[in-house]
């Protein structure tokens, strides 16, 4: 605690130094003098950087230094904009960061005993505590902490042994207390990172996104605008619903590590999978259980100073998020290139899905002063190492761990993507695999992993969708029967073609695939003598093709293969058929 206090006061001193040095070197007119000023600033910057470095060795961490360096680069102490003149050919790079509010699915709100459920009648889920009546005290829910820590661990964050809650005050009609309990400078989770996988259909690949921090806080209520077209500017009046006030949120802030909208969308989807796997939130975008605000700016490649930051919100799908960000990057680049850079202002924009563009929602009027101070009614939050260990042990297998496991089974990226999307599918697939062990009573080892992934992600899932079943567990075919089905194919007892033919019957009626195959006499013919008979019959009834083949037209082999398979009703073992056919063709 004491160390933190020292760091905090040091950071303030630095900021103060920076501010005073910049104000003393203002008012410059000609370009040459502003160049000289910029040079002086750069020297000043180098000195300060050196000072930061020497201090770090004694008292500070690399992370704190990086943070302070970035702050310095963005302060007036250094301004390298003149070193990067912009014209129509300038190459830009975007800086993108996301803040996501995840509503935690807990039995009660964060600091009182109220239960919250989306869509309940207005103001029926409130009490004096979440309404901030005088004389009431907040009591932190243990479940809220546990879910917050779980998400933090899943994002590879460090969990602070001691963190604290602060009051963030602002006045807004949906905030009955006039302040929000949040965590300001000592968040419960910080310094994490998460690997995200870009969907195969969008080119595939991976990106690693740094997590700056994740902190616990309470949600505000909701205003319902009445009259006009239902938005705040045309409404005749607004009704306040305080049900949501006090519901637990985890706000997750990323580093500006994204390169484009595709990565942002992949990150959002991965975060949603994580909270769903953990059962920490339902992650529904359209019910507001997960809300993403994206900050976008662009700057010439290599320049340190960031461009003006624009916030984009209200994107109701990950797809829309990707498009909104790519649109915003393009819009800002275009304005800079046309010499209209000053039209990019600090503002909040919203995504207009109908017209596929971002539009101004509200302009920012400087930085809001929230007058944060430590929440006097709550003790500091202590998460001992032992507590964190226990929470970690209770966590289920997470998407990235499952991906690695499936990769080691040899599954394709496409199949892994489909399976991991839904934890029910993962569970179902794993049950097929464990059932397959009991099927493997033959001497040679039969591995159905790839076969099962393939059938499940294609034919079976298509059936689930067409029949509007909610999970694969609603199929008549049980995991052990699917395992048997895959075993029959992998073991060469039926061909993939026969498998495809009998699948509709199995999906409609259920039952043992082996029994059905036996009843219909569809077992693959693997007896060489029997196959030889079939091949001979085919050769005899196709004399002219045989003569052509033997006089050098070897391309006809495919014709014979097809004829043999047809003759056997698709049951002849393809490998054996090929061997025997090759031999008989060359005998002549």
Q: List CB contacts of 239: < 8 A, sequence separation 6 or more.
A: 122, 223, 224, 226
Alpha-carbon separation of residue 366 from 11, 345, 363 (angstroms):
21, 11, 9
Which CB atom, from 129 or from 426, has the smaller least distance to Zn ion?
A: 129
Which CB atom, from 124 or from 384, has the smaller least distance to Zn ion?
A: 124
Least Cβ distance, residue 126 to Zn ion (angstroms): 6
The 3-state DSSP composition of the chain as helix, strand, coil percent (nearest 5) reads: 45, 15, 35
Q: Is 130 in the site for Zn ion (CB under 5 A)?
A: yes
Least Cβ distance, residue 122 to Zn ion (angstroms): 15
Q: Is 245 in the site for Zn ion (CB under 5 A)?
A: no
Ramachandran bin of 465, using left for φ above 0, alpha for ψ from -120 to 50, beta for the remaining angles: alpha
Contact 408, 433 (CB under 8 A): no
Which CB atom, from 110 or from 580, has the smaller least distance to Zn ion?
A: 110
Three-state DSSP class for residue 241: strand
Across the beta sheet with 179-182, the strand order is 179-182, 166-169, 373-374
Q: Is 525 in the site for Zn ion (CB under 5 A)?
A: no
- Which one of 49-57, 123-131, 181-189, 315-323 is the stretch in contact with Zn ion (CB under 5 A)? 123-131
Binding mask 378-417 for Zn ion (x = CB under 5 A): ----------------------------------------
Least Cβ distance, residue 233 to Zn ion (angstroms): 31
Which CB atom, from 96 or from 112, has the smaller least distance to Zn ion?
A: 112
With 0-12 / 13-18 / 19 or more C-beta atoms within 10 angstroms meaning exposed / middle / buried, residue 415 is buried
DSSP letters along 118-184, please? TTPPTTSS--TTTTT-TT------HHHHHHHHHHHHHTTPEEPSEE--EEEE---TT-TTSEEEE--
Number of residues that bind Zn ion (CB under 5 A): 5
Least Cβ distance, residue 106 to Zn ion (angstroms): 13
Least Cβ distance, residue 59 to Zn ion (angstroms): 43
- Which one of 128-136, 142-150, 537-545, 556-564 is the stretch in contact with Zn ion (CB under 5 A)? 128-136
Residue 574 dihedral angles phi and psi, to the nearest 5°: -60, -40
Binding mask 414-443 for Zn ion (x = CB under 5 A): ------------------------------
Binding mask 560-579 for Zn ion (x = CB under 5 A): --------------------
Four-residue CA torsion sign, 171, 174, 180, 183: negative
Which CB atom, from 127 or from 162, has the smaller least distance to Zn ion?
A: 127
Tokens standing for residue 560: 């014979």
DSSP letters along 168-231, please? EE---TT-TTSEEEE--SS-SEEEEEEEEE--GGGT--EEEEEEEEEEEEE---EEEEESTTSS
Q: Is 114 in the site for Zn ion (CB under 5 A)?
A: yes
Residue 458 DSSP label: I
Which CB atom, from 114 or from 294, has the smaller least distance to Zn ion?
A: 114
Q: Is 207 in the site for Zn ion (CB under 5 A)?
A: no
Which CB atom, from 113 or from 204, has the smaller least distance to Zn ion?
A: 113
Tokens standing for residue 433: 């695999």
- Which one of 130-138, 174-182, 385-393, 452-460 is the stretch in contact with Zn ion (CB under 5 A)? 130-138
Least Cβ distance, residue 282 to Zn ion (angstroms): 20
Which CB atom, from 249 or from 580, has the smaller least distance to Zn ion?
A: 249
Report how many helices (DSSP H) and strands (DSSP E) the chain contains, helices first: 19, 16
Least Cβ distance, residue 112 to Zn ion (angstroms): 3
- Among positions 74-113, residues that touch Zn ion (CB under 5 A) are 112
Which CB atom, from 63 or from 127, has the smaller least distance to Zn ion?
A: 127
Tokens standing for residue 249: 């949120």
Residue 174 dihedral angles phi and psi, to the nearest 5°: -90, 5
Which CB atom, from 32 or from 117, has the smaller least distance to Zn ion?
A: 117
- Among positions 313-342, residues that touch Zn ion (CB under 5 A) are none
Least Cβ distance, residue 165 to Zn ion (angstroms): 17
Q: Is 460 in the site for Zn ion (CB under 5 A)?
A: no
Give the closest residue to 260 by CA, choosing from 329, 159, 193, 181.
329
Which CB atom, from 131 or from 223, has the smaller least distance to Zn ion?
A: 131
Least Cβ distance, residue 128 to Zn ion (angstroms): 8
Three-state DSSP class for residue 349: strand
Q: List CB contacts of 153: < 8 A, sequence separation 6 or more.
A: 159, 388, 391, 392, 395
Alpha helices in 394-495 (DSSP H): 399-408, 413-420, 423-439, 449-455, 461-466, 479-490
Least Cβ distance, residue 115 to Zn ion (angstroms): 9
- Which one of 119-127, 277-285, 385-393, 416-424 is the stretch in contact with Zn ion (CB under 5 A)? 119-127
- Among positions 138-167, residues that touch Zn ion (CB under 5 A) are none
Least Cβ distance, residue 138 to Zn ion (angstroms): 10
Give the number of C-alpha atoms closer than 13 A to the C-alpha of residue 326, restricted to the C-beta side.
13
- Among positions 284-313, residues that touch Zn ion (CB under 5 A) are none
Residue among 36, 82, 127, 226 that touches Zn ion (CB under 5 A): 127
Least Cβ distance, residue 219 to Zn ion (angstroms): 12
Which CB atom, from 108 or from 568, has the smaller least distance to Zn ion?
A: 108
Q: Pairing mode, if any, of strands 179-182 and 222-226?
A: unpaired
Which CB atom, from 110 or from 453, has the smaller least distance to Zn ion?
A: 110
Tokens standing for residue 344: 């990019």
Which CB atom, from 176 or from 288, has the smaller least distance to Zn ion?
A: 176
The angle subtended at Cα 66 by Cα 9 and Cα 193, nearest 5°, is: 115
Least Cβ distance, residue 245 to Zn ion (angstroms): 8
Least Cβ distance, residue 114 to Zn ion (angstroms): 3
Q: List CB contacts of 304: < 8 A, sequence separation 6 or more.
A: 73, 78, 80
In the complex, the residues that contact Zn ion under the rule CB under 5 A are 112, 114, 127, 129-130
């Amino acid at each position: 605690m004491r160390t933190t206090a020292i760091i905090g006061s040091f950071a303030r001193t630095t900021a103060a130094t920076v501010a005073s040095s910049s104000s003393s070197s203002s008012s410059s007119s000609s370009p040459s003098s502003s160049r000289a000023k910029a040079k002086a600033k750069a020297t000043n910057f180098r000195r300060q950087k050196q000072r930061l470095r020497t201090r770090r060795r004694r008292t500070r961490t690399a992370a704190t230094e990086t943070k302070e360096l970035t702050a310095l680069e963005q302060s007036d102490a250094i301004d390298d904009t003149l070193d990067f003149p912009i014209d129509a050919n300038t190459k830009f790079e975007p800086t993108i960061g996301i803040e996501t509010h995840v509503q935690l699915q807990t039995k009660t709100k964060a600091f009182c005993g109220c239960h919250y459920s989306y869509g309940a009648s207005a103001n029926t889920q409130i009490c004096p505590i979440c309404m901030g009546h005088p004389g009431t005290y907040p009591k932190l829910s243990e479940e809220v902490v546990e879910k917050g820590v779980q998400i933090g661990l899943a994002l590879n964050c460090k969990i602070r042994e001691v963190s604290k809650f602060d009051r963030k005050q602002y006045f807004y009609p949906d905030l009955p207390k006039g302040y929000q309990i949040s965590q300001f400078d000592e968040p419960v989770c910080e310094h994490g990172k998460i690997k995200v996988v870009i969907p195969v259909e969008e080119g595939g690949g991976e990106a690693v996104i740094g997590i700056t921090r994740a902190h616990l806080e309470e949600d505000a209520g909701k205003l319902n605008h009445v009259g006009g077209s239902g938005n705040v500017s045309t409404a005749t009046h607004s009704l306040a619903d305080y049900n949501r006030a006090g519901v637990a949120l985890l706000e997750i802030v990323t580093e500006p590590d994204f390169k484009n909208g595709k990565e942002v969308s992949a990150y959002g989807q991965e975060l949603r999978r994580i909270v769903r796997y953990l059962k920490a939130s339902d992650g529904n975008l359209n019910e507001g259980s997960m809300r993403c605000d994206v900050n976008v700016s662009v700057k010439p490649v290599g320049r340190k100073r960031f461009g003006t930051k624009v916030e984009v919100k209200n994107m109701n799908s990950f797809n829309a998020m990707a498009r909104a960000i790519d649109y915003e990057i393009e819009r800002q680049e275009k304005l800079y290139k046309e010499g209209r850079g000053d039209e990019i202002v600090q503002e909040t924009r919203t995504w207009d899905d109908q017209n596929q563009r971002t539009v101004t929602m509200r302009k920012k009027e400087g930085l809001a002063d929230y007058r944060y101070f430590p929440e006097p009614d709550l003790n500091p939050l202590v998460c001992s190492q032992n507590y964190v260990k226990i929470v970690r042990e209770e966590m289920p297998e997470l998407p990235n761990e499952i991906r690695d496991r499936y990769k080691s089974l040899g599954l394709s990226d496409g199949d892994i993507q489909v399976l991991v999307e839904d934890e029910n599918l993962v569970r179902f697939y794993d049950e097929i695999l464990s059932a397959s062990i009991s099927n493997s009573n033959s001497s040679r080892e039969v591995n159905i992993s790839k076969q099962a992934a393939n059938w499940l992600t294609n034919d079976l899932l298509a059936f689930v969708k067409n029949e509007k079943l909610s999970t694969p567990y609603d199929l008549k075919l049980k995991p052990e029967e699917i395992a048997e089905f895959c075993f029959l194919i992998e073991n060469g007892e039926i061909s993939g073609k026969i498998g495809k033919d009998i699948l509709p019957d199995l999906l409609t009626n259920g039952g043992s695939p082996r029994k059905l195959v036996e009843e219909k006499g569809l077992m693959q013919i693997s007896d060489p003598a029997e196959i030889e008979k079939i091949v001979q019959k085919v050769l005899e009834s196709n004399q002219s093709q045989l003569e052509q083949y033997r006089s050098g037209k070897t391309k006809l082999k495919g014709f014979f293969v097809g004829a043999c398979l047809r003759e056997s009703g698709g049951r002849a073992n393809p490998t054996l058929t090929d061997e025997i056919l090759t031999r008989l063709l060359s005998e002549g």
